[in-house]
């Protein structure tokens, strides 16, 4: 398991795939991911393409670990905007209206046998009922 | 087949207006000059399209859906109206009138994007300009906490680092500095990359201002950057002829939020004592700026406007949508051209799912799946014309390129129908 | 729809009516000779009747104004009014919302207002806001003096092409007149610099502010535009600047032919003598002397009112100076190839010597300039104060007692820095009608505004004050109160205000000019312009142009040019 700072943000693939639709295969492929620095991948003992569990004080989610092409950023994990990232986020906005979508402390551990939830299953998990 | 030129792209805040499309049989068959995201939007907007209004998942007529929406909004004690950044200014304007009529709270996506920038500006001001001013004059550009290669793909070529203007002829005549926590693809194109420690931008901005003002820093290292590097940077900033700081969510979302913006404003303001310097937020959605503009001219406030007193009231942290939801204060919601379920913290989403939600959108989103009423609308900038404001507040007119599917109204039309029926019920 | 306003005391200076008791007949939105017996009667017995007010310079719409709103949430909290069945919610004190602006002007009895400075690239925004200002008729001036294409043409001596370009831009962007703001200075502000005199160079254009003003004055003559060039001078707000103001007026004296050919705006801000803030004195006497002796000049006051204000001008460098002077938050927004805008909140304080002198200067100008037809009442809203304070300014002009009362409360040193205390002139209602309606309509060449002759638009204001019985000199408070809330405001023949309340709301007209031009000349100039656009701008020429359908209610005015 490693400790990281979580950054969420836009990526070209996230932008393209969301225009293809939030329930498309491409969206899940490009957004349910966690970009890790090659050194962090090594420490974690995970190969690119394998699933990991990312956990913060506020929630946890299974996504696919990939090797970052925007490294180095040891100790920082990047997850594109989307429902997988949002589950991990704190609701408190510190009187600004803005939840802390960057800079949240997280832990990452291998989860090679666990399944990435598709958006519908994610919603069910958050909301407690079928959408 | 016909070719339409000078098309305004309805995706991001760059609002590129030089796109060219070929239309054949009411379909866009070719897009020229658009970035990859733009091309996808123009050619794939019918993916996961919604063709019929729904109530509780069941298809109904437009009139039935509107009647249900009106009933929900009229009966709500504190309805919330959210989204707005991906539709026309005209539609948003109707939204304001609805929110005022029913005493609800209206917020747009700026509150989870550059809302902190606006809050910082309200405290400290800002020195900014339109994008052409940068293209023509800027010989030094900083990208701080933003990644245009990914989020505003044509920005650098059209408006900033690699643009060609009257006095600056291209990338070679500029110095480009990138400040970020990772070496992004944008950083890889820079002359200087500053890898700031996460959640430490406020300290670095302040240290930079100190170095600009006083030349030397007392500490050895700030925010992971050696003092000499900061001092060197300060010298560069002072000796440029026209500097431009583009900043993004790296500043608004990390620790400090609005205070980070104030620190950036103070730095740029200080730099104006030595040279010419401006800063500009990289606005995300293509009309989030328009949402701020129309809400401000109609209510005085650019986002998070509460009408429960009968007049506009603004208090970020209180009247912002994430907070309203997290507290469980609103008892109904109208979401227009936005997908908050995709991006909001879980607690907020949980509370949104508990109340009746009306969503206007053209395709399925996570928000439509939890909505009681879904009304499909046209795609602004492709099927419906309208006004939109670029990230630098330059207003442009989005074009209608093709006909929408039969029977599908625009956001503006639906909102007008809702407003009309509400006026019959609410005095 | 017929109206008959009976028995009022009418002040209609354009038709030389000075407090005559007479009836005004209205039919289908126009003033007519007479109406039938089925007309609705308004009993204006013992009341004052004037044409609706025409405000020639106010910042009411567009990017700069909205930036002011966004910058100052604190401005909005205490000045609010909940929505009613007829009116939208009202909010804002110095930078109110669009609806608030329309309602407040209507309550004052104003029916036509011009947005004083719209940057061409953002004029679409100006129109979108104008569309949302209810009741008043409106237009906007386009800021053109630091425009790169204009400067290219002027510096090359191509006056005709410059005129053709300006004819095109007024038509394309739906503007009314040529606005000039710190010519040359704002272009240099693109590099953080400014000009200090009319003969400074403006690189790389090889032109001076004097040449810009003269060039645009010549262009205005060629285009035969209904209004003169409208000028915010260089060195605004700088002690000693009254000299620049006189030089500016003098710069085009030889180009006049009997009629005014230059309007200097908010002259109070340009009327400073002395050489520093400590030695500040009023330069009003010198300016008044020049204006009195030179009929080619018109001015508006920019009178300050003590209290909150929001300064907002296209004078980027001046706004930066003001920020440094006050430490107040500052927004700057340059517009590519065209100009700039700056916003700084400000408060005018009675005990502040400089503010007290400023207050004095505006009034001195009004009282020393003899011809009320060349002088207009403004507060350069919201720079010197909100327009809702016009009645206060009127009271000061009509009553030495009102002025003395205020002078008792202001900084004592200010008294010696000006001549206000020595002036005992008091404006009459007739003169007030001139400087708030008749003269402004005339300066704008709006044939159907500012008067109550047959054929005029039925824009009428009726105030609950008896001009025959009241002594404005003593009872200035009554005057102020009556003018603040019209007994009736009528717009286009519709009663929109009754006893200071809005009783009807609709959208007025946005008027703009369409100068005639040969197709060949237009084509030739547009070819050059579209080439320049590619280099100078970040939008296409096609998207720069504003469609007429973008105006909620468009009223084009064809202007026959002198090409």
**pLDDT tens, residue by residue, B148-180:** 999 999 999 999 999 999 999 999 999 999 999
Across the interface, which of A59, A71, A93 has its CB nearest the CB of B317? A93
Determine whether B5 is exposed, middle or buried from the number of CB atoms within 10 Å of its CB (0-12, 13-18, 19+): middle
CATH code: domain of residue C239: 3.20.20
How far, in Å, CA of B138 to CA of B237, rounded? 12
Name C286's Cβ contacts closer than 8 Å, sequence gap at least 6: C242, C246, C273
pLDDT at B426: 84
Secondary structure tally for chain B: helices H, strands E: 17, 22
Answer whether residue A130 shows pLDDT above 80: no
Q: Is B294 on the interface with C (CB under 8 A)?
A: yes
pLDDT at A129: 78
Tell me the two tokens of residue C248: 């500016």
Answer whether residue B381 shows pLDDT above 70: yes
Q: How many domains does chain C have?
A: 1
Determine whether C41 is exposed, middle or buried from the number of CB atoms within 10 Å of its CB (0-12, 13-18, 19+): middle
Q: Over range C462-490, report the average pLDDT.
A: 98
- Tens digit of each residue's pLDDT (9 = 90 or more) over C395-435: 999 999 999 999 999 999 999 999 999 999 999 999 999 99
The domain limits of chain B are 49-112+286-425, 115-281
State the pLDDT confidence band at B354, using cuts at 50, 70 and 90. very high
Cβ contact, residue pair A83, B320, below 8 Å:
no
| Vertex A44 angle, CA A42 and A47, to 5° | 60
How far, in Å, CA of C346 to CA of C308, rounded? 6
For residues A9 and B147, the answer to whether their CB atoms sit within 8 Å is yes
How far, in Å, CA of C373 to CA of C375, rounded? 6
How far, in Å, CA of C301 to CA of B199, rounded? 52
CA–CA distances in Å: residue C429 to residues C7, C288, C426, C465, C469: 17, 22, 10, 11, 12
Q: Is A3 on the interface with B (CB under 8 A)?
A: no
The SS3 call for residue B158 is helix
pLDDT at B235: 97
The CATH H-level superfamily of B115-281 is: Dimethylsulfoxide Reductase, domain 2 (3.40.228.10)
Q: Give me the CATH topology for the region B49-112+286-425.
A: Rossmann fold (3.40.50)
For residues B185 and B148, the answer to whether their CB atoms sit within 8 Å is no
**One-character DSSP codes across C341-369:** -EEEEEEE-TT-HHHHHHHHHHHHHHHH-
State the pLDDT confidence band at C526, using cuts at 50, 70 and 90. very high
Range of the domain at C120: 50-502
Strand partners, B360: B336, B375
Q: Over range C29-53, report the average pLDDT.
A: 97
pLDDT at A131: 66
Answer whether residue B146 shows pLDDT above 90: yes
pLDDT at C206: 92
Residues 14..73 of B with a Cβ closer than 8 Å to C: which?
17-18
* Per-chain mean pLDDT for chain C: 98
Residues of C in contact with B293 (CB under 8 A): 66, 125
Answer whether residue B427 shows pLDDT above 80: no
Pick the closest to residue B122 from C329, A59, A107, C20 (CA basis): C329
How far, in Å, CA of B140 to CA of B405, rounded? 47
| Vertex B75 angle, CA B69 and B81, to 5° | 55
Pick the closest to residue B253 from C66, A85, C478 (CA basis): A85
- Tens digit of each residue's pLDDT (9 = 90 or more) over B85-127: 999 999 999 999 999 999 999 999 999 999 999 999 999 999 9
Residues 507..526 of C with a Cβ closer than 8 Å to B: which?
none
Across the interface, which of A16, A92, A96 has its CB nearest the CB of B115? A96
Answer whether residue B130 shows pLDDT above 90: yes
How far, in Å, CA of C377 to CA of C494, rounded? 26
Residues of A in contact with B359 (CB under 8 A): none
User: Could you tell me where the DSSP H helices lie in B45-86?
Assistant: 62-75
CA–CA distances in Å: residue C314 to residues C121, C215, C380, C562: 13, 20, 13, 30
Residues of A in contact with B254 (CB under 8 A): 100, 102-103
What residue in B sits closest to C62 (Cα-Cα)?
B297
The domain limits of chain A are 2-127
Strand partners, C12: C17
| Vertex B355 angle, CA B352 and B359, to 5° | 70
Distance from CA of B273 to the nearest CA of A (A): 30
CA–CA distances in Å: residue B303 to residues A96, B90, B114: 12, 16, 11
pLDDT at C539: 98
Separation of CA A14 from chain center: 12
Q: Is B316 on the interface with A (CB under 8 A)?
A: yes
Distance from CA of C411 to the nearest CA of B (A): 30
Whether domain A2-127 has CATH 2.30.30.240: no
How far, in Å, CA of C483 to CA of C109, rounded? 8
pTM above 0.90, yes or no: yes
Q: Over range A76-99, report the average pLDDT.
A: 94
**Structural domain contains residue C562:** no
Strand partners, C311: C344
Residues 49..78 of B with a Cβ closer than 8 Å to A: which?
none
- Tens digit of each residue's pLDDT (9 = 90 or more) over B254-278: 999 999 999 999 999 999 999 999 9
For residues B142 and B177, the answer to whether their CB atoms sit within 8 Å is yes
Cis peptide before C382 (omega within 30 of 0): yes
Cβ contact, residue pair B166, C63, below 8 Å:
no
| Vertex A45 angle, CA A41 and A49, to 5° | 60
DSSP structural state of residue C37:
T
How far, in Å, CA of C4 to CA of C20, rounded? 16
CA dihedral C228, C230, C235, C237 (to 10 degrees): 130
- Tens digit of each residue's pLDDT (9 = 90 or more) over C273-312: 999 999 999 999 999 999 999 999 999 999 999 999 999 9
Q: Over range C534-539, report the average pLDDT.
A: 97
Helix axes B288-299, B89-102, angle to 10 degrees: 40
State residue C205 phi and psi, 5-degree precision.
-85, -10
- Tens digit of each residue's pLDDT (9 = 90 or more) over C234-277: 999 999 999 999 999 999 999 998 899 999 999 999 999 999 99
Cβ contact, residue pair B297, C129, below 8 Å:
yes
How far, in Å, CA of C176 to CA of C448, rounded? 16
Residues of B in contact with C191 (CB under 8 A): 137, 241-242, 276
State the CB neighbour count (10 A cutoff) for residue C518.
11
**One-character DSSP codes across C393-462:** HHHHHH-HHHHHHHHHHS-GGGGGGSSGGG------HHHHHIIIIIHHHHHTT-TTSS--STTSB--EEE
Q: What pairing do the DSSP bridges indicate for beta strands C177-181 and C137-143?
A: parallel
Cβ contact, residue pair C332, B122, below 8 Å:
no
**Structural domain contains residue C547:** no
State the CB neighbour count (10 A cutoff) for residue C37.
7
Across the interface, which of A9, A12, A100 has its CB nearest the CB of B153? A12
pLDDT at B248: 97
For residues B67 and B80, the answer to whether their CB atoms sit within 8 Å is no
How far, in Å, CA of A65 to CA of A49, rounded? 6
Tell me the two tokens of residue C117: 């400075």
Tell me the two tokens of residue C20: 């005559």
Tell me what percent of the residues of chain C surpass a pLDDT of 90.
99
pLDDT at A128: 85
């Amino acid at each position: 398991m490693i400790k990281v700072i979580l950054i969420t943000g836009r990526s070209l693939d996230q932008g393209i795939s969301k225009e293809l639709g939030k329930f498309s295969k491409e969206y899940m492929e490009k957004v349910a991911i966690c970009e890790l620095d090659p050194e962090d991948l090594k420490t974690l003992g995970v190969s690119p393409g394998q699933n990991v569990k990312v956990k913060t004080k506020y929630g946890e989610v299974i996504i696919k670990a990939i090797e970052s092409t925007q490294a180095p950023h040891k100790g920082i994990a990047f997850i594109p905007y989307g429902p997988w990232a949002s589950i991990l986020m704190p609701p408190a906005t510190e009187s600004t209206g803005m939840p802390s979508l960057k800079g949240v402390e997280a832990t990452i551990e291998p989860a090679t046998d666990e399944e990435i939830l598709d958006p519908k299953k994610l919603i069910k998990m958050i909301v407690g009922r079928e959408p | 087949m016909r070719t339409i030129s000078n098309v305004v792209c309805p995706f991001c805040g760059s609002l590129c207006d030089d796109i060219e499309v070929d239309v054949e049989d009411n379909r866009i068959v070719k897009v020229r000059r658009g970035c990859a995201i733009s091309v996808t939007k123009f050619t794939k907007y019918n993916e996961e399209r919604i063709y019929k209004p729904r109530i509780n998942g069941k298809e109904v007529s437009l009139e039935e859906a509107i009647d249900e929406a009106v009933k929900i909004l009229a009966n709500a004690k504190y309805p919330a109206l959210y989204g707005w950044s991906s539709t026309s200014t005209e539609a948003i304007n109707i939204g304001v009138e609805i929110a005022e009529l029913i005493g609800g709270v209206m917020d747009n996506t700026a509150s989870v994007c550059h809302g902190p920038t606006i809050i910082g500006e309200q405290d400290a001001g800002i020195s900014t300009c339109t994008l052409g001013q940068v293209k023509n004059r800027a010989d030094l550009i900083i990208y701080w906490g933003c990644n245009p290669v990914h989020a505003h793909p044509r920005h650098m070529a059209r408006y900033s680092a690699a643009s060609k203007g009257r006095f600056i002829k291209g990338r070679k005549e500029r110095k480009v500095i990138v400040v970020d926590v990772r070496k992004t693809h944008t950083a890889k194109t820079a002359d200087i990359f500053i890898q700031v420690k996460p959640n430490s931008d406020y300290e670095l901005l302040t240290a930079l201002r100190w170095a600009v003002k006083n030349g030397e820093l007392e500490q050895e290292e700030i925010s992971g950057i050696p003092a000499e590097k900061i001092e060197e940077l300060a010298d560069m900033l002072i000796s440029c002829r026209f500097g431009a700081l583009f900043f993004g969510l790296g500043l608004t979302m990390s620790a400090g939020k609005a205070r980070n913006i104030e620190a950036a404003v103070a730095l740029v303001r200080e730099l104006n004592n030595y040279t010419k310097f401006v800063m500009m937020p990289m606005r995300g959605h293509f009309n989030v700026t328009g949402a701020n503009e129309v809400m401000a001219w109609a209510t005085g406030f650019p986002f998070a406007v509460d009408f429960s007193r009968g007049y506009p009231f603004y208090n970020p942290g209180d009247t912002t949508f994430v907070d309203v939801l997290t507290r469980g204060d609103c008892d109904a919601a109208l979401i227009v051209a936005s997908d908050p379920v995709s991006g909001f913290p879980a607690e907020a989403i949980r509370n949104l799912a508990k109340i009746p939600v009306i969503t206007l959108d053209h395709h399925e989103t996570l928000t439509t799946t939890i909505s009681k009423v879904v009304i499909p609308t046209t795609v602004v900038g492709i099927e419906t014309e309208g006004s939109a404001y670029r990230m630098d507040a330059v207003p442009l007119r989005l074009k209608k390129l093709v006909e929408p599917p039969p029977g599908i109204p625009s956001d503006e039309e639906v909102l007008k129908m809702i407003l009309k029926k509400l006026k019959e019920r609410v005095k | 729809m017929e109206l008959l306003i009976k028995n009022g005391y009418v002040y209609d200076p354009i038709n030389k009516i000075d407090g005559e008791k007479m009836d005004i007949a209205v039919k289908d939105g126009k003033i007519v000779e007479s109406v039938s017996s089925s007309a609705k009667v308004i009993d204006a017995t013992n009341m004052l009747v004037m044409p609706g007010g025409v405000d020639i310079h106010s910042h009411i719409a567009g990017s700069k104004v909205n930036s002011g709103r966004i910058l100052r949430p604190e401005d909005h909290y205490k000045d609010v009014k909940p929505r009613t069945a007829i009116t939208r919610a009202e909010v804002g004190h110095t930078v109110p919302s669009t609806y608030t602006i329309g309602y407040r002007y209507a309550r004052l009895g104003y029916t036509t207002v011009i947005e004083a400075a719209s940057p061409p690239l953002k004029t679409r925004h100006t129109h979108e806001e104008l569309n949302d200002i209810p009741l008043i008729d409106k237009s906007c001036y386009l800021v053109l003096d630091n425009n790169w294409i204009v400067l290219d043409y002027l510096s090359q001596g191509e006056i005709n092409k410059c005129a053709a370009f300006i004819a095109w831009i007024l038509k394309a962007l739906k503007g009314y007149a040529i606005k000039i703001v710190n010519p040359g200075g704002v272009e240099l502000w693109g590099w953080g610099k400014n000009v200090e005199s009319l003969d400074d160079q403006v690189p790389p254009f090889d032109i001076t502010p004097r040449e810009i003003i003269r060039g645009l004055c010549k262009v205005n003559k060629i285009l035969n535009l209904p209004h003169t060039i409208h000028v915010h001078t260089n060195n605004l707000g700088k002690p000693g600047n009254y000299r620049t103001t006189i030089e500016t007026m003098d710069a085009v004296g030889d180009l006049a032919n009997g009629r005014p050919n230059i309007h200097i705006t908010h002259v109070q801000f340009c009327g400073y003598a002395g050489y520093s803030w400590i030695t500040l004195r009023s330069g009003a006497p010198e300016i008044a002397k020049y204006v009195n002796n030179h009929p080619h000049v018109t001015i508006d006051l920019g009178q300050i009112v003590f209290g909150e204000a929001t300064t907002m001008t296209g004078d980027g460098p001046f706004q930066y100076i003001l920020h440094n002077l006050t430490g107040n938050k500052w927004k700057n927004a340059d517009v590519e190839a065209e100009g700039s805008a700056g916003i700084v909140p400000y408060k005018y304080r009675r005990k502040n010597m400089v503010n007290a002198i400023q207050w004095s200067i505006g009034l001195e100008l009004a009282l020393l300039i003899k011809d009320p037809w060349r002088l207009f009442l403004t507060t350069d809203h919201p720079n010197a104060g909100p327009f809702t304070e016009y009645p206060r300014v009127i009271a000061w002009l009509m009553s030495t007692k009102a002025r003395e009362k205020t002078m008792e409360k202001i900084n004592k040193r200010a008294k010696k820095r000006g001549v206000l205390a020595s002036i005992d002139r008091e404006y009459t209602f007739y003169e007030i009608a001139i400087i708030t309606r008749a003269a402004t309509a005339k300066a704008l060449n709006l044939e159907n505004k500012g008067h109550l002759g047959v054929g005029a638009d039925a824009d009428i204001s009726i105030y609950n004050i008896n001009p025959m019985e009241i002594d404005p000199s003593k009872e200035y408070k009554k005057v102020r109160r009556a003018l603040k809330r019209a007994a009736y405001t009528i717009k286009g023949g519709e009663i929109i205000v009754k006893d200071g309340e809005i009783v009807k709301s609709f959208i007025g007209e946005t008027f703009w000019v369409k100068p005639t031009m040969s197709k060949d000349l237009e084509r030739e100039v547009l070819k050059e312009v579209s080439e320049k656009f590619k280099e100078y701008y970040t939008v296409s020429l096609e998207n720069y142009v504003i469609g007429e359908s973008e105006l909620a209610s468009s009223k084009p005015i064809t202007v026959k040019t002198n090409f």
